[in-house]
Structure 1
Amino acid sequence: MSLPIKEIILAPGEGNHLIIGDSEVTFKVVGTDTNGHLGLFENLIQPGGTAPILHIHRQMEEMFYVLEGEVEIIVGDQTIQGLPGAFVLVPPRTPHTFSNRGNRPAKLLIMFCPAGEREKYFEGLAKLLKEGQPTDKDALLQLMQQFDQEPVES
């Protein structure tokens, strides 16, 4: 049985914040807010900042909307230089990644459908990428697999 979905109203900058490497993620809506239907996160990416490796999701669709700066988005065999207003839909099983190759911070909205517990992936990633800690590749792979994410060999 689905629980009723309640209104969520957040002012700019509001939402639960998480530091992942040198990027900041703000959870605007998580799966528990929408009965698992969708999640919406804001990602502030520093120039040359933390970016995911090329990967796929088997079940989930992922969407990117550039708010500020310039975000390079790789989806399938295309590389997009996303300026504010650019939108990319990534279907399931499509290799993708993103990064800030510019010289100023960039802000990206990321939406996941279905959301499941996608925020728990980001929480786990934040723990793995704490300052001064080398990345445990096995732990990262296990975290990815737990939350519908698989690396793609390039």
Structure 2
Amino acid sequence: MTEETKAGERIAEPAVSVVGPGDGETILLGTTRLRVLEDGSNTGHRLGMAESVLAPHTPGPPQHRHAQHDEGFYIISGTVRFTVGDKDIDAAAGTLVMVPAGAPHTFANVTGQPAVMLSTFTPDRYVQYFRDLQDMLAGGQALTPQANIRAMSRYATEPATDFG
């Protein structure tokens, strides 16, 4: 569809993005598989979204804080343990965990069952962090906590060192 302007020019309406069940960019990070559903290119970089499948007993990243984006996690299946500061929260299917900029957090699948969650990033900048991690693995670099922290730092994210 198009809209007509006062000068008679026709301008295109924004395109709607549809990502089907088998579509989207796949990022493999050890025992975690991410499917990028929106990398920000269709939302003016206001929103990124990914589906993550965490294998049983998958550790998460070091506890950290984002300075420039909020994250949301909706648990689709399984249970994901979120650590927020010194508090653990076991989020079962149907739970939404919203992490505003500045809040310390990490997550892991500590169970013997896979867990699936939908993650949002507002704005989208953190989607590239996952691509960076995949590139590190492809280049033969181990995803140590230190390497992870270095990659995070490129996206206004720092470790929450005030918590164990």
TM norm. shorter chain > 0.5: yes
Deviates more, 1:88-97 or 1:46-55: 46-55
2:32 aligned with 1:23: yes
Shift of 1:78: 3.2
Measure, in 2, the Cα distance between the counterparts of 1:137 and 1:102. 21
2:131 aligned with 1:106: no
**What is the TM-score with the length of structure 1 in the denominator?**
0.87
Do 1:21 and 1:126's aligned partners in 2 also have CA atoms closer than 8 Å? no
Partner residue of 1:126?
134
Measure, in 1, the Cα distance between the counterparts of 2:95 and 2:123. 22
Structure 1 residues 48 and 5, CA gap change in structure 2 (3 angstroms): farther
Measure, in 2, the Cα distance between the counterparts of 1:131 and 1:45. 22
**Equivalences for residues 3-152 of structure 1 within 5 A:** 5-116=14-125, 118-130=126-138, 133-135=141-143, 139-152=147-160
**What is the TM-score with the length of structure 2 in the denominator?**
0.82
Identify unmatched segments of 5+ residues in structure 1. none
Partner residue of 2:4?
none
Shift of 1:30: 1.0
Q: Secondary structure at the residue paired with 2:150? A: helix
Size of the alignment, in residue pairs?
A: 151
Structure 1 residues 140 and 11, CA gap change in structure 2 (3 angstroms): same
One-letter amino acid of the counterpart of residue 95, structure 2? A
Q: Secondary structure at the residue paired with 2:124? A: coil
Percent of matched pairs sharing the same residue: 31
Measure, in 1, the Cα distance between the counterparts of 2:130 and 2:67. 18
Q: Secondary structure at the residue paired with 1:33? A: coil
Shift of 1:120: 1.5
Shift of 1:22: 1.3
Do 2:62 and 2:145's aligned partners in 1 also have CA atoms closer than 8 Å? no
Shift of 1:137: 5.6
Identify unmatched segments of 5+ residues in structure 2. 1-12
RMSD: 2.2
Measure, in 1, the Cα distance between the counterparts of 2:147 and 2:110. 27
Partner residue of 2:3?
none
Shift of 1:126: 1.6
Do 1:63 and 1:90's aligned partners in 2 also have CA atoms closer than 8 Å? yes
